[in-house]
Amino acid sequence: MAEAYIVDVLRSAGGKRKGALAGVHPADLGAAVLNGLLDSTGIDPAAVEDVIAGCVTQAGEQAFAFGRSIVLASHLPDSVPAVTIDRQCGSSQQAIQFAAQAVMSGTQDMIIACGAESMTRVPMMSNFTLHNQAGIGTGPWSEAILKRYGVSEFSQFVGAQMIADKYGFSREDMDAYALRSHQRAAAAIQSGAFKGEIVPILTENGLFDTDEGVRYDASMEGMAGVKTLAEGGTLTAANASQMTDGASAALIVNERALKAHNLTPMARIHNLTVTAGDPVVMLEEPIRATAKALERAGLKLDDIDLFEVNEAFACIPMAWLKATGADPDKTNVNGGAIALGHPLGASGTKLMATLTHALKARGKKWGLQTMCEGGGIANVTIIEML
């Protein structure tokens, strides 16, 4: 079977909700990063055989074959097809995995995996809340599903609180983790660590190229003043990921494409894993997925040089660290979604951009990325730098 390679992977800077990227249509946002990827790799745009686009809230400006809209807004010719996928927060990580499977099978040789999400212009969950407000339908879960699991709804906020309680994390513990995320992200920005992975986006106010959600003055005292998300709970907006506008993209190819287009890969994709478990607790599945991925890859935890574990809530990477025994100093070394933001469908390829560039900067070999996802699903992707 052929191998799958990452030639390059790039992202936009994260825009705060109603911030710097608020005036950019999400199709144009996705297209800008695709154009940056075409420029960085120098490939013939017509040689791209498919675009697989992750997007969670496929409504409004992100509706009607959103991936195709990204292509039509980009420098790609209209002969390039596209598809839009939703694996919740792992959508564009799954886009990478689908692209890898396609080029490994030999059915295609060159694919762009990407994601885009404007949480300003298409609010989270508006693809069903607007139906509810209009009195259309009964929501995404049938009575049979709710009865099976003994719940009235499935909530990531409830699941995250359950995980925090299960592992005994206090609000102060989670605030301390969140503070470290901001500190690491601030240090990364100040050192120029993100320069090679960010595509500047043209906005009405000029070029936007620096993540704007990072709090350089973050403190435990400041976080202590933030209200909890639920009465009696320990989760707050300060120890959870930020709603963010952003896009990201990766060029995935096989060896045939490397030779045909004289390309030099950054990394080889070594393992593709997806698992599913409890949809109520929902966000704990990266723990099991990581164990399965390492076993299938024939690797040990200590073999991995850097980890990217999405910071949907502080308790998610904290639980993952506690359960796996991974080294915190190898995990989210440039900060995570608490500081840099979580643009939902774009986060998978966004994390891959940060992981590959961090490995490259350190001269390291192995990287593992994992993402908790709605419905109790998790993706793990292991890469080997070349």
Q: 282: alpha, beta or left, given left = phi > 0 and alpha = psi -120 to 50?
A: left
Among 55, 89, 114, 315, the active-site one is: 89
SS3 46: helix
359-383 b/e (C-beta count within 10 Å ≥ 16 → b): bbeeeeebbbbbbbbbebbbbbbbb
Residues 6+ apart with CB under 8 A from 188: 194, 334, 335
Cβ atoms of residues 269 and 6 within 8 Å? yes
CA neighbor of 20 nearest in space, from 180, 197, 185, 213: 213
Angle formed by the axes of helices 286-297 and 315-324, nearest 10°: 40
Specify whether 342 is catalytic: yes
Among 55, 114, 315, 372, the active-site one is: 372
Specify whether 75 is catalytic: no
User: β-strands 366-373, 50-54: how paired?
Assistant: unpaired
Q: Which two tokens stand for residue 117?
A: 């999400």
DSSP labels, 290-328: HHHHHHHHT--GGG-SEEEE--SBTHHHHHHHHHH---G
Among 182, 270, 342, 357, the active-site one is: 342
Cβ atoms of residues 372 and 270 within 8 Å? no
Q: Which two tokens stand for residue 316?
A: 């998610």
256-284 b/e (C-beta count within 10 Å ≥ 16 → b): ebbeebebebbbbbbbbbbbebebebbbb
Cβ atoms of residues 318 and 174 within 8 Å? yes
Specify whether 114 is catalytic: no
For the annotated catalytic residues, the residue numbers are 89, 342, 372
